[in-house]
Structures are given as structure tokens and as C-alpha cells.
Amino acid sequence: MKMMLVIVRDEDRDAVLDALVKADFRATYIASTGGFLRRGNTTFLIGTEAERVDQAMELIRNACSAAADDQRRATVFVLKVDNFSQL
């Protein structure tokens, strides 16, 4: 199991969420702000099986709009999950 933390620009939030939901990924998002430029971002929390990480990455890559040369379209952290429970 993996936890993906994905930070995208606010303007890409809906496109990323739609792409993930259509592919049966479960995602939670929260509003966030970058510390350097203080721009609005959205941070997605996506729990998924390890073998689906590449699929999620491709969906995110395609859903994010083009960025200026000094900007990234998304920042993605993939973390190992040792334990997962739903209560």
C-alpha cells in the first residue's frame, strides 16, 4: 500500500480530481499554500496499491495544465504505508 501526497496548483484541482475519480482512485484534497511564493495550491492524499502508482502519476501528469519554465505542474511524494485500517 502507498500514500501519495500530490501538490498541484489550484487551477488544476478539478481536472486532477476528475481524472482520479474516473479511474476509481479515492482521493481527499485540502487547500494549501506554498511557503515561497505564497500561491494557492491543492494537496491530494491518495491511498492506493503499489502497482497503481504509475497509473496515478500518468493521470496527474495529463490532467495538469502546462506550467511556466520556473514552475512545476505537480510535486508528488510516494510513501510506504505499513498499516491501513478503516474504523
Confidence (pTM): 0.87
C-alpha–C-alpha distance, residues 8 and 11, integer Å: 8
Higher pLDDT, 36 or 67: 67
Whether CATH 3.30.70.120 fits 2-80? yes
pLDDT at residue 68 greater than cutoff 90: no
Place of cell 505499513: 82
User: For residue range 36-59, what is the model confidence (pLDDT) as tens digits?
Assistant: 656 789 999 999 999 999 999 999
What is the average pLDDT across 6-28?
95
Q: Where in the chain are the domains?
A: 2-80
C-alpha–C-alpha distance, residues 77 and 2, integer Å: 10
